[in-house]
Amino acid sequence: MNESDKTLVIIVSDLYIRGYIISLKNEMLAVLNTQQYLKTASDQELIQAIQFEFQGQFNKSVIISDLNKVLEDVTGKISAGNVTVVMNVNGATVSIVIGILGRIVYSKKYDFGFSHQLANLLLPENRTLFEQRLALWGYDNEKIRTAYNYLGNRQMYKGIPIVNKESEDALMGILWLICLKNELNTIIAENTKGLRFEEIPHVILTGEIAQEFIDQGNLALSLIDGFKLTGIWQLILDPRMQLLLYSQDISEDLSIYSLEELESIGSVIAFDSPYNWGEYIGEMRVDLGLSEDQVVDLKCGQIIRIPLSKQVSGGLTIKAKPNVVINYQGEIDKLAGGNIGLIIDTRNRPLPDLSQTKIYNKHMHHWIEALH
Amino acid sequence: MMEIIVGIKQPLIVNTKYIIERLIGVGSDISVKVDEIVRPETIIATYWQRSGFRTFNLAEMFKVTPEKASMIFKKTLGTRIYPGDIVATKQELFGLREKYFKSPLAGILTDFDTRTARLTIQYLPKEIKIVAGVFGRIVDIKSDKAVAIETKADIVKGVLSFGMDREGSLVEIGYPDIPLQADQLSERLSGKIIFGGTKVNLDFVYKSLSYGIKGIITGGIDYQDYLALQGSRGRDEDIGVSLIITEGFMSAPIYHETYDKLKEALQKHVIFNAGNETIVLPVANNSNLVDTTSVQEAKSNQKYNLLDEGNLVQIINGENIGQYGTVNKIMKENLIEVINNHINEQTNPLNVVKII
């Protein structure tokens, strides 16, 4: 693709059909125009409507309907230098794809989503977990009932939006449940033995759900806890569902950062240590490019947020007590910021399960507060 | 002019042509013909229903070996027995005490396996008479399957349902503007289809089962309760009572026009079609069945429609969930103003459905 080429890419997902006019601009993938329709008519009718609307604005047209296949293709491209987990969550389906150094090591598609196929996810055992999590977030039975009813109505009526904190928390709980179904650490450990990485790993949330979230602090916590992240990760949100555009033949040199519209939530640094919760485990110096480094005392069992914008990269130095580890095989001198910034997570791994309510009751509200 | 498309809801279809399929058993004797006019009490088919069997292990019941059990079995295979008939006896304590097995059911002794001492009693076949249930005209007969009757009816359309098709006479329960309470149930409602209230809970459903209530029509249900009722096998699972929810996962009164129509049909025989979330209220005075030119057709396939100012809508999400109101103003593509006597809400059009 060169700068004069303009492609209409139409993405058919579960609830929406979207059209994008894309082009290359200053070596970046530029989205010149977009249109989104809720599926209120047949796919064919809506595709024609988009083609009609963008008439004269493109010289090539592509329709993407097999999202899973395209997602694997895209994940392969963007994981060339690291580990990339892409989670595509739509109304009726979910796909999780993991790429390591350009190779797809895991690809799973589920027949549940956050809208009309929600009941397939809310089986009794998952409902228990969902309710436990909401209870730890301070929800009483009445509020849990309200959250459920919101989800039920989402299942019945396509596209109803988040209207308040309860509805966003309910959806966040669903996202957490979806993450939980994947043994991410095992898959990554099995496939990265002996490898070293130049870029930190990414978790990218895309799909119809990605445009819904407002509270990125809670979103970060749901991803960290759901995937039980260890080591260092950059969390990325694709709110306008543009990641799949990367499947187009644009340029070999483009990286994930060539997509303007992706939002970095921030970077997570998750420590593990044999020390007791609350015990001092060391200090961390973060170089934000200011006259002095920011020094953070680390205590076991904390979540600390350091604001760091998307445009700034931070380096860090850690002085830690023996046996405090960051499970990451690569350099940590360049951490990307984002809307939340750096998230320092010193909770011992593996994270306690929800039945350990003593720990959660004591700490959960601190963790939530830390990310806001 | 800005075009906004929203989901639609058609809570009530009045005086529509409706074809009811009355299911009949295999080997039914059909007593009507195509084009024949029928009344609710007209018998359209008769058949003998085999009701299955029960087995009893006499060796286990009398604590004897299967060989000895053959000695205590007192009846002849093929005979008809009634509840209380003695089927087997055994002398105990040197003849001082006698132990009996009395039949708990009416049936035919069909088998006694001497190796296992297992006795099989077939229930007596029951004669089933299928009545038309509605005023109407026979339009199709599918042997051993169904008789189709064209009738005029009012159709109440719910938004979700649970259970299987049932029918019975309609009774109002509780109050239109508060949730149904289990203590409103009583034995007089046995075999009835009940309607009322803003919401049903699991207690109410389970208690209504114990009273033999056939169907419940109400405004809402909590999604948690609905998922619990579904169990692991989905909506086809039948727990013995059917539900039709008219408003959604919320606590909300049944749409007032629907409620009024249900009240008009009090004590009448109605058909609860859980499969497609409808209640069929046959029109009583159905004298001119051949003429269906004036009836309204159900727009069942249409799911979305253009939204205009002045349209009646229901709010399906947010603080005022369940409330009906009028679109006062379309402010922009993703913002409309809905008003009624109590509310003035600016909301995303995705949070409403248009009432047609």
Per-residue pLDDT tens digits for B98-119: 888 888 888 889 899 988 889 9
Residues on chain B touching A151 (C-beta within 8 angstroms) = 223
Residues of A near B (CB-CB distance < 8 A)? 38, 40-41, 119, 122-124, 127, 144-145, 148-153, 155-161, 163-164, 167
What does the pLDDT read at residue B231? Answer: 67
| Range B42-64 burial, b when 16+ CB lie within 10 A, else e | bebbebeeeeeeeebebbebbeb
A160 with B316: Cβ contact below 8 A = yes
What does the pLDDT read at residue B283? Answer: 80
Separation in Å, CA B242 to CA A51, A166, B156, B224: 46, 31, 15, 17
Give the separation between CA B173 and CA B177, rounded to whole angstroms: 11
The shortest C-alpha distance from B351 to chain A (Å) reads 6
Angle, helix B223-230 to helix B202-210, in steps of 10 degrees: 50
A150 with B350: Cβ contact below 8 A = no
Give the separation between CA A39 and CA A43, rounded to whole angstroms: 7
B223 with A124: Cβ contact below 8 A = no
Please provide the size of chain A in residues. Answer: 372
Give the separation between CA A86 and CA A92, rounded to whole angstroms: 17
CA A139 to chain centre: 24
SS3 A224: helix
Q: Is pLDDT above 50 for A133?
A: yes
Range of lowest pLDDT (A78-82, A92-96, B342-346)? A78-82
List, in sequence order, the alpha helices (H) in A30-164: 43-53, 67-78, 124-136, 141-156
Give the separation between CA A163 and CA A148, rounded to whole angstroms: 14
Q: Which of A124, A153, A155 sits opposite B317 (nearest CB)?
A: A153
Separation in Å, CA A235 to CA A191, A219, A222, A267, B336: 21, 10, 11, 6, 35
Residue A248 near residue A1 (C-beta atoms within 8 A): yes
Mutate to test the interface with A, among B159, B200, B223, B335 (most CBs of A within 10 A): B223
Residue B273: which of B171, B165, B195 has the closest Cα? B165
What does the pLDDT read at residue B290? Answer: 42
Q: Where are the beta strands (DSSP E) in B65-173?
A: 80-81, 86-92, 97-102, 107-113, 118-123, 126-131, 136-142, 146-157, 160-162, 166-172
Residues on chain A touching B227 (C-beta within 8 angstroms) = 119, 122, 127, 148
Q: Is the peptide bond before A161 cis (omega within 30 degrees of 0)?
A: no
CA A15 to chain centre: 20
A41 with B348: Cβ contact below 8 A = no
Give the separation between CA A112 and CA A120, rounded to whole angstroms: 5
Query: What are the backbone angles phi and psi of residue A7, rounded to the nearest 5°?
Result: -115, 135
The shortest C-alpha distance from A163 to chain B (Å) reads 6
Q: Please write the tens of the pLDDT for every residue from A236-295.
A: 999 988 899 888 866 655 566 656 678 999 999 998 888 988 899 999 888 777 778 888
B123 against A87, higher pLDDT:
A87
SS3 B351: helix
SS3 A149: helix
Residue of chain A with shortest Cα separation from B351? A160
Give the separation between CA B265 and CA B262, rounded to whole angstroms: 5
Residues on chain B touching A156 (C-beta within 8 angstroms) = 159-160, 248-249
Residues on chain A touching B250 (C-beta within 8 angstroms) = 149, 153
- The pLDDT-based confidence of A155 (bands split at 50, 70, 90) is very high
Percent of chain B with pLDDT over 90: 47
Angle, helix A357-370 to helix A216-227, in steps of 10 degrees: 140
What does the pLDDT read at residue B294? Answer: 42
Q: Is pLDDT above 50 for A142?
A: yes
Residue A258: which of A270, A268, A248 has the closest Cα? A248
- The pLDDT-based confidence of B331 (bands split at 50, 70, 90) is very high
SS3 B93: coil
Q: Is pLDDT above 50 for A186?
A: yes
Q: Where are the beta strands (DSSP E) in A155-274?
A: 202-206, 231-237, 263-272
A109 against A5, higher pLDDT:
A109
Q: Which of A144, A149, A157 sits opposite B353 (nearest CB)?
A: A157
Q: Please write the tens of the pLDDT for every residue from B160-215.
A: 998 888 889 999 999 999 999 999 999 999 999 999 999 999 999 999 988 999 99
The shortest C-alpha distance from B232 to chain A (Å) reads 7
Give the separation between CA A278 and CA A301, rounded to whole angstroms: 6
Size of interface A-B (CB pairs under 8 A): 69
Residues on chain B touching A149 (C-beta within 8 angstroms) = 222-223, 249-250
Mutate to test the interface with A, among B3, B198, B249, B313 (most CBs of A within 10 A): B249
So what's the ipTM on this one? 0.89
What does the pLDDT read at residue A161? Answer: 92
A145 with B250: Cβ contact below 8 A = no
Residue A316: which of A271, A354, A272, A349 has the closest Cα? A271
Q: Please write the tens of the pLDDT for every residue from A1-52.
A: 666 789 999 999 999 999 999 987 777 778 899 999 999 999 999 999 999 9
Average pLDDT, chain B: 87
CA A287 to chain centre: 25
Q: Which of B222, B224, B351 sits opposite A160 (nearest CB)?
A: B351
Residues of B near A (CB-CB distance < 8 A)? 5, 7, 159-160, 222-224, 226-227, 230, 232, 248-250, 303-304, 316-319, 321, 348, 350-351, 353
